[in-house]
Amino acid sequence: MSTKPPPGSAPEVGPADGFDPGSAYRRSPSVALRPEPFGALVYHFGTRKLSFLKTPQLVDVVRNLERYPDVHSAIAAAGVEEAQRAAYLKAVAGLAASGTIEPRP
C-alpha cells in the first residue's frame, strides 16, 4: 500500500456537518466489512451502497472505533503516522457522512 492517504470514498465534511472526532463512534450496525487485499469493501444494507476502505489501517480504525472513547484515540491506536492524521480524520468524517459509522449512543 502506498503511503498516500485518504481512504474512504465518501464526500468530504467538516465539523460543521456534525462530525466530532472528540466523541465516540461505532461502525453502523447496517454495515458489513469484507476484508480485501487493499483494505476492505464496505456494504451498507440500508443504502445498498458499496464503498471501500483503502488502507488496512483505516479498516482497523473502523473496526475498533467502538473500543475507544473518541475518534482521535482510535486513529492513534491504529498506528497512523502523525503526518497522516489529518487525512485519516477527513476520511473518517466522510465515513460518518455516508453512514458507514455513527455516533455511539
Q: Pick between residue 43 and residue 64 the one whose CB is nearest to another protein.
A: 43
Contact 98, 51 (CB under 8 A): yes
Residue indicated by cell numbers 455511539: 104
Three-state DSSP class for residue 88: helix
Site stretch for another protein (CB under 8 A), options 15-23, 30-38, 74-82, 86-94: 30-38
Helix (H) or strand (E) holding 41: strand 39-44
CB of 37 to another protein, least distance (A): 6
Binding site for another protein (CB under 8 A): 1-2, 9, 32, 34-38, 41, 43, 45, 48-52, 54
